[in-house]
Amino acid sequence: MKRNGKKIVIVGGGIAGLSAAVYALKCGYEVEVLEMHDMAGGLAMSWHRGSYTFETCLHWLIGSKPGGEFNEVWKELVDLDTLTFVNPHEFVRIETEDGDSLRVYTNADMLEAELLRRAPDDIAAIEDFIHAIRTLGKFRLLDPSGGLADNWLNMLRDIPVLPLLMKLGKMSGKEYGARFADPLLRGFFSTGDMGKLTAIAMVLSLAWMNEKDAGYCIGGSQALIRLFEEKIRELGGAIRFDARVERIVVEHNCAIGVLLKGGEAIPADWVISAADGHATIYDMLEGQYVDETTRKIYAESETFASYLQVSLGIARDLRDQPPMLTRVLGSPVSVDPETEHTHVGFRFFHFDPTFAPTGKTAVTSILPTRNYRYWENLRSQEPQSYRAEKARVADSVIHVLEGHLPGIREAIEVTDVSTPATVIRYTGNWKGSQEGWLMPPGGGIKPFPNTLPNLDRFFLIGQWIMPGGGLPSGPMTARPAIKAICKRDHLPFDVQPEIHRLEPAEV
Ligand SMILES: Cc1cc2nc3c(=O)[nH]c(=O)nc-3n(C[C@H](O)[C@H](O)[C@H](O)COP(=O)(O)OP(=O)(O)OC[C@H]3O[C@@H](n4cnc5c(N)ncnc54)[C@H](O)[C@@H]3O)c2cc1C
């Protein structure tokens, strides 16, 4: 690769930072990614405990379908075809303690039949919902780095779905759920943060699942991250671990490099922060470049909640279980002094053979909370109580699981609990948020500004400028930043897609 003599320093080795690195390397820049943790991925993370691997991030990856539209964006960066995707036909099963249950299928025909069987009185709302899933499968995301010239074809294709998008975009999940009389169906749309998001979020996700374009890749999110790391190395880029950026160095309102914890200065022609937005703006840049737009975003927009994750290594083959299960409880589980849940979800990773030895299953449960301060304070000030509280929550979650699988406690051989304090420590995300900003009704699908007023040679990327977050926010925000940098440097943004190079397996 011919280098152009200019260097880009990227703060943060999550999916956004890694995406920017590949784009920049392909455009001829020297690239150094600085990651504070000892491995890449940020929120796209899993960890090993004994013979089990516990995934936190990946439920579905938009763009998993070969030939699909977002697939082409991933393929500009890595050879996605080397990953193996699975598309479970059941998305989630929701069940009450007295045995009532609703199966949410990923296939629209199966979902329609199941919903009509369960809730025939909701026929009008069900037909409307299924129509939306089928219609939105044809929706083409616009390229935020492109103008009219790059987007006109997708805009033209989107015209038939625009009225539906606009209608759903104005409604919250809770409002959408209220159209159904069936309590489980209603709860599916309105529980937790899902109820606050625009209804587009869930309907679009189901639409992409129906198209088999939102699969799960074997190995979880780290399998994807490893592809990026390999690509960066292959293109001659550098990722430095245990490299925490404390300050972005600015001279005459121009970013000229970064200062690491420990005092090392790293000069650069351009600085991109793919780290937490709040820490970048208010700590690394000391709040020097905050205008009314930025102030308002950080003062008024709502973030996704943080979460505890209870992970269980279970010495039992649980392939007869759905991939995801939500238990609706008569009395709530208490998470912390401000948080309790009547809906507790489980993921049975029996579909990923890399996560547990044969005959055993990795199981996780995510418990959202906004009370991140409680967990941070407990961890730093009362470590014994912190451990005791984690054990108490794990015990409650196991108790809920026993309601579904009597006697399962005896088969649990590994229990692991992470908290919002863990999320903050390992990823630096503000308030321990799991995906950045909520995508509220009426907000549209558009990113926040990727520059700061009066600060030159600097870009922000990642989930903190793309409400709704998710792994696709990585390439979607990295691409416009590198494209703009190329334009300023009078260089072509010429990114060739990856060609699938795997030899056919020998028979
Ligand atoms: C429970 C859960 C489930 C999810 N499910 C899905 C899903 O199914 N599908 C999907 O697409 N998305 C999902 N997501 C969302 C997705 O994981 C995130 O939106 C995405 O990974 C964010 O990527 P990012 O690069 O913007 O930020 P991050 O992943 O937060 O990366 C930021 C990086 O910057 C580093 N950093 C921070 N500060 C510094 C500093 N000062 N110096 C150096 N490095 C620093 C951090 O260590 C981190 O590695 C889920 C997330 C969670 C938590």
Atom of ligand 1 minimally distant from the CA of 436: 19
Instruction: State the residue for tokens 């509280």.
Output: 389
Would you say 30 and 6 are in contact if contact means Cβ atoms under 8 Å apart? Answer: yes
Rounded CA-CA distance 72/75 in Å is: 5
Give me the torsion for CA of 396, 397, 403, 406, rounded to 10°. Answer: -100
Atom of ligand 1 minimally distant from the CA of 463: 26
Q: Which two tokens stand for residue 262?
A: 């420990």
Atom of ligand 1 minimally distant from the CA of 42: 49
Best residue for ligand 1 mutational test, from 264, 266, 366, 435 (most atoms within 8 Å of Cβ) = 435
CB atoms within 10 A of CB 479: 23
Does residue 245 have its Cβ closer than 6 Å to ligand 1?
A: yes
Does residue 15 have its Cβ closer than 6 Å to ligand 1?
A: yes
- 3-state DSSP: the chain helix, strand, coil percent, rounded to 5? 40, 25, 35
Nearest to 40 by CA among 291, 241, 284: 241
- Amino acid identity for residue 281 in this structure: I
Q: Which two tokens stand for residue 122?
A: 């909701």
* pLDDT tens for each residue of the chain, 507 residues long: 678 899 999 999 999 999 999 999 999 999 999 999 999 999 999 999 999 999 999 999 999 999 888 899 999 999 999 999 999 999 999 999 999 999 999 999 999 999 999 999 999 999 999 999 999 887 777 676 676 666 667 766 777 777 888 888 899 999 999 999 999 999 999 888 889 889 988 999 999 999 999 999 999 999 999 999 999 999 999 999 999 999 999 999 999 999 999 999 999 999 999 999 999 999 999 999 999 999 999 999 999 999 999 999 999 999 999 999 999 999 999 999 999 999 999 999 999 999 999 999 999 999 999 999 999 999 999 999 999 999 999 999 999 999 999 999 999 999 999 999 999 999 999 999 999 999 888 876 678 999 999 999 999 999 999 999 999 999 999 999 999 999 999 999 989 888 765 554 433
**pTM of the predicted model as reported, rounded to 2 decimal places:** 0.95
Rounded CA-CA distance 357/346 in Å is: 19
Residues in the chain, total: 507
**Residue 151, Cβ density class (10 Å: 0-12 exposed, 13-18 middle, ≥19 buried):** middle
Best residue for ligand 1 mutational test, from 38, 39, 43 (most atoms within 8 Å of Cβ) = 43
Q: Report the nearest-CA residue for atom 31 of ligand 1.
A: 14
